[in-house]
Amino acid sequence: MKLDRDAIKRGVIDEMIRESQAAGFMEPRPEDERRELLEAALAAREAGAAVWVFGYGSLMWNPAFHYAEKRSGMIHGYHRSYCMWSPGGRGTPELPGLMLALDHGGACRGMAFRIAPEQVHEELDIIWSREMIGQAYEARWVPVKTQEGPVHALTFVINRDYIRYAGKVPRDVQAAHLATATGRMGSSMEYLENTVAHLDELGIGDGPMHDILKRARAYCSDPPQGRWENGKWRTTARKS
């Protein structure tokens, strides 16, 4: 399922969140809280400053909002990480997928998008409906270094208190879940392959992402014996 602008405006994500809530593995953020967080984010920007949004995952190639300008850029203090379990969108409760988020430490190259002043509220409404509908992310203003000069941008970092925060997942465990988990929005493998392909297309080098893709493909071609049990991947001995 493609998560485009029309789908977001139709409330597809709201519907998915409600289904996830009914299944007991996701809690939506109340609408009034979402609105307050959006207004607080806008109030926190520098007076008269342009509104930029920094994307590090699917926002880079599928922003689903209108923008006036985009630039490649780098932020410091956060890195791209598969640190969030996905028991619904790209996985199941029995075999959760993994989703990217920005976690603390390091640096991250991505894309910065400038929103035209007259479209700020409408476009941020769409972004908020995509990124802030659940409890997983916190909105942050971050300095972004670009070739054309520095900008301040809104981005979405992992909420480490979120129940699905995975922390630092071992690479072999990441590979197992990314290679096999599938949910309503598609497979975790598809998401990984799209991310790496678009990073390459945009000229954004990311060795760890290439490494995990290589591991996931190796898992697909020669899967080890194992199972997801009690919140951990348990590897068993291969049959002789």
The residues annotated with a catalytic role in the active site are 131
Query: To the nearest 10°, the Cα dihedral for 89, 94, 97, 101?
Result: 80
122 Cβ partners below 8 Å, 6+ apart? Answer: none
* Exposure string for 115-136, b = 16+ CB within 10 A, e = fewer: beeeeeeebbbbbbbbbbbbbb
Q: For the chain, first and last CA: distance in Å?
A: 40
CA dihedral over 40, 55, 77, 75, signed as positive or negative: negative
Handedness of CA 133, 138, 142, 145 (dihedral sign): negative
* Residue 68 near residue 115, CB atoms below 8 Å: yes
The beta strands (E) that lie in the chain are given as 51-55, 69-86, 97-115, 137-146, 151-158, 182-183, 186-187, 226-229, 232-235
**Amino acid at residue number 79:** H
Which among 143, 148, 116, 224 is positioned nearest to 179, based on CA atoms? Answer: 224
CA atoms within 13 A on the CB side of 125: 9
